Chains A and B, each alone.
Chain A
Amino acid sequence: MKPPPLEAAGAVALPRPPLTHEDAKRSHDRRRVHRARTGGRRWHLLWLLVGPGILAMLGENDGPSMISYATTGATYGLGFFLPFIVLTFAMAVVCQEMSMRVGAVTHRGYGQLVLQRFGATWGWFAAGDLLFTNLVTLIAEFVAIRVGMAYFHLGAPLAAALGVVLVIFTLSGGRYWRWERIVLGMAVFNGLFIPAAILAKPHWGAVGHAFATFSPFPSGGFNTLLLLVASTIGATVTPWMIFFQQGASADKGMTPRDVRLGRVDTAVGGVLAAVFGCAALIAGAALAGHGGASIQGLAGAGFPAALRAVSGPAVGTIFALALIEAGAVAILTISASTGYAAGECIGVAHSFNNSPRRATLFYGANVGVALIAAAVILIPGAPLLSIALNANVLATVLLPVTLVFMIMLANDRHLMGDWVNRPAVNRIAVAIVGFISICGAAYGIDSFLQSTHVF
């Protein structure tokens, strides 16, 4: 089942290399996995191997995503978008499973493989797409923290500082394991959207009807509907997730023997993210009959304050805390994906198992993008909600290229050996690329024509 060594694909064999501190730390983690596996401790083994999948999925349940879901609920109420969220996370699981599998089998990140396998042009395009969407998305994450903290009368500087301090704190320690466990611990609080939804007292019959029938289908402006469809897709499958999960799987030291539990990790992450995402929409739907469609983030009342007015202070407070958590976790995972991409494409050390001194670019990129994004939210009058929604749309538009290369890598027998995609996975993956391309293009073209007054 193990793929042929890289020598079989033409690489040159070298004598046994000098061992690095990164090797030693990764080996330490792998020793625990080995002992759990040989000792038959299945739950402990699962505990050791979960991480990249859950973090990718809950990291994508980020600030702009939750604002997007709540906006959808506030605009259209309970209906089509509830099962649509579940559908998009099913798509995300298919895509993320491929990135986990490629990372575990090749031990290399997405950027590194695209650059080496398909050439510098495609590698740098991929890195450029990622950097651009990551910067925009990170700005949106700080927006989410700012929206959440504004509810507690805390200002933008504190929101910016919190995000940057979190990045620096989690990076200290020089261990992948430590970073992963801290962020996983924080990601648990993504579940705060569930009590927010329950306390908002939704009509559970309408929730069940929506899941059973994908209806009522939203009415209203076609362009607004396209925006929300595109941003909902962008809220579940994005370029950074591909870079992150493949890079993290390699950094964690996963191997082909771990793929089965890697799939469990990815699926559990997908289920949790779908449940929490639906909860955000259900909470937002409480505003549907109260002018929810007109909420404009900080320019208007903002979601937490509007929810407090409609559903009570507990809902507003929980929703505000959940938004802060969503933004904070995503800042950490998206910064990490930027660090992985920078290190992989430039060809320097890119692991949490290195110290900042040994992986300066990796750590610098992690902190640098967070600093830039933090600076943007301090600009007075910035259109924050618009940035949050358009960040997801941009991610949707740029995603097809990332996914096509992901599919090509997952089908590359030189790299993957017997671990290449099965035909059924390829059919689903190609359908996903087509669907996402059409949705992104429909919104882009329609909104462009409207803004140029052709229609």
Chain B
Amino acid sequence: MLHDDTISESQEDQDFYLEHDQFVIDKQRPVPRAHLSRRATVALWALRVFVVAVSAMVIYTFVTQIAH
């Protein structure tokens, strides 16, 4: 996909005003995975469960209001 999008050699001769990690190909390189501690992982899952539970309550209330 990227190769279809590359520019011509004449354009490539122009000055480029982008930083070394700002080119499309550079941005496509994945950043390394972060290591999350067990406590952080548990806290994130707890937060996730919490917001899903509250979201379900809000949606339930909304649907109930519509039904009435």
Contact = CB atoms under 8 A, between A and B. Distances in A.
Contacts of B58: 390, 393-394, 397, 443-444, 447-448
Contact of A30 (B3, B18, B48, B64): B18
Given A6-B29, A349-B1, A118 B54 contact: no
Interface of B: 1-7, 11-12, 14-34, 36, 44, 47-48, 50-51, 54-55, 57-62, 64-66
Contacts of A216: none
Nearest to B20: A5
Contacts of B50: 400, 437, 441
Given A117-B33, A349-B5, A448-B57, 10 more contacts: A11-B30, A250-B27, A349-B1, A390-B58, A404-B44, A404-B47, A437-B50, A444-B57, A445-B54, A451-B60
Nearest to B54: A444
A24 B20 CA distance: 14
Contacts of B64: 451
Contacts of B27: 107-108, 250
Contacts of B20: 5
A297 B11 CA distance: 55
A26 interface: yes
A448 B61 contact: yes
Given A26-B22, A386-B65, A404-B47, A9 B54 contact: no
B58 to A, nearest CB: 5
Nearest to A32: B17
Interface stretch (A15-23, A59-67, A138-146, A275-283): A15-23
Contacts of B7: 18-21, 23-24
A18 B3 contact: yes
A141 B1 CA distance: 35
A33 B18 CA distance: 11
A10 B32 contact: yes
Contacts of A27: 14-18
A448 B36 contact: no
A18 B6 contact: yes
Interface in A237-259: 250, 253, 255
